[in-house]
Amino acid sequence: MKIVVTGGLGFIGSHTVVELQNEGFEVIAIDNLSNSSESVLDGIFNITGKKPIFEKMDLRDKASVQNFFKKHNDVVGVIHFAASKAVGESVENPLLYYENNINTLVYLLQELKELPSANFIFSSSCTVYGQAEKMPITENASIQPAISPYGNTKQIGEEIITDVAKVTNINSILLRYFNPIGAHESAEIGELPIGVPQNLVPFITQTGLGLRQELSVYGNDYPTPDGTCIRDYIHVVDLAKAHVIALKRLLDKKNLEKVETFNLGTGTGSSVLEVITAFEKVSGQKLPYKIVGRREGDVIEAYANTDKASAVLGWKTQYNLEEAVDSAWKWEKKVRM
């Protein structure tokens, strides 16, 4: 069965392509290579022995999207990762985010609704919850007004999908990721942030390798046990496997609601200092860091209630924080060799 993975050469996309291939799906990876490279195809091949069909395409080009689905009208599912995802950049350049994250979604859905069988998985984010009142966060926690255009595009995306589902045959699953980290155990694929990493774990592994001088910890005066922010760091392979399970659920079409939402996290919160400790343990080296002021827009804590994903998808994470950080460290060392 033919599955399209947009952003298929990206961090989460490439790991999901591997797991789809492991389950026997035929994969078409679409990517505009703005935040990835074609060499990721070799990494995927080295893991699975198969290269997905690759289409270099910018989903902002409506005609390209239309032509693609004219050519591939036997697609049974689309997993949509392709989007811009840097919170800070979205504040500086909101129109880039609304064009790249919203227009592309609309063009995809316009084609999907014409297919005989349309199954759609949307890459959403726990950022839609903002600072949730209650931990762990369930799927019916209230959606807070977005604090960045990036977060707003995820909220708007979910609303578009929900409205479209009411009047089309598209069945959708919204997956709200917490904090994806780590890399495939082979270290053949992983996270390749362009420029200075915005996210914690790639900054830590680059610092560990001496590519960065020291980590700045954005605040230790939060109302948490050690004063630093708490997040739910989920191994990217656990996350990828959840996508395959969600796709199979859509294809089975049993007891499906038109749009279903799942939080994807470990269910455990970890502070910034705990992530640093995990890195020092797996690497055997001290991490240079300093405490600086808070970062605008950070929530104090966010970690997932995983009951629904476990009960409905039968999915639970297999990797713990240290294993995930260790896989990120192995990847960092290999990719810099």
Site size with ligand WQD, rule: CB under 6 A: 18
Which residues lie closer than 8 Å to 293 by C-beta, 6 or more apart? 218, 219
**By CB under 6 A, residue 272 contacts ligand WQD:** yes
**By CB under 6 A, residue 327 contacts ligand WQD:** no
Q: Which residues 99-128 are close enough to bind ligand WQD by CB under 6 A?
A: 125, 127
- Least separation, in Å, of the C-beta of 25 and ligand WQD? 24
Q: Which stretch in 135-143, 209-217, 240-248, 321-329 sits in contact with ligand WQD by CB under 6 A?
A: 209-217
Q: Which amino acid is at 243?
A: H
**By CB under 6 A, residue 179 contacts ligand WQD:** yes
**By CB under 6 A, residue 199 contacts ligand WQD:** yes
**By CB under 6 A, residue 198 contacts ligand WQD:** yes
- Among the listed residues 203, 279, 303, 319, the single contact to ligand WQD using CB under 6 A: 203
Of 150, 177, 222, 319, catalytic: 150
218 is catalytic: no
Closer to ligand WQD by CB, 192 or 272: give it: 272
Which residues lie closer than 8 Å to 252 by C-beta, 6 or more apart? none
- Among the listed residues 217, 244, 264, 309, the single contact to ligand WQD using CB under 6 A: 217
- 314 C-beta neighbours (distance < 10 Å), count: 9
**What is the pattern of x (binds ligand WQD, CB under 6 A) and - over residues 220-239?**
---------x-x--------
- Least separation, in Å, of the C-beta of 320 and ligand WQD? 17
* Separation CA 302–CA 178 (nearest Å): 8
Tokens of 159: 């609303």
* Separation CA 65–CA 68 (nearest Å): 5
- Least separation, in Å, of the C-beta of 90 and ligand WQD? 10
- Among the listed residues 295, 310, 312, 320, the single contact to ligand WQD using CB under 6 A: 295
DSSP-assigned states of every residue in 176-220: EE-EEE---TTSSS----SSS--SHHHHHHHHHTTSSS-EEEE-S
**By CB under 6 A, residue 277 contacts ligand WQD:** no
Which residues lie closer than 8 Å to 157 by C-beta, 6 or more apart? 101, 102, 105, 122, 124
- 5 C-beta neighbours (distance < 10 Å), count: 28
- Least separation, in Å, of the C-beta of 288 and ligand WQD? 13
The pairing of beta strand 230-231 with beta strand 270-271: antiparallel
H helices of the chain, in order, are 11-22, 40-48, 62-71, 87-92, 94-98, 104-112, 149-167, 200-208, 236-252, 272-283, 307-308, 321-335
- Least separation, in Å, of the C-beta of 217 and ligand WQD? 4
Q: Which stretch in 22-30, 195-203, 241-249, 253-261 sits in contact with ligand WQD by CB under 6 A?
A: 195-203
**Binding residues vs ligand WQD (CB under 6 A):** 85, 87, 125, 127, 179, 198-200, 203, 215-218, 229, 231, 272, 295, 298
* Residues recognised as catalytic: 150
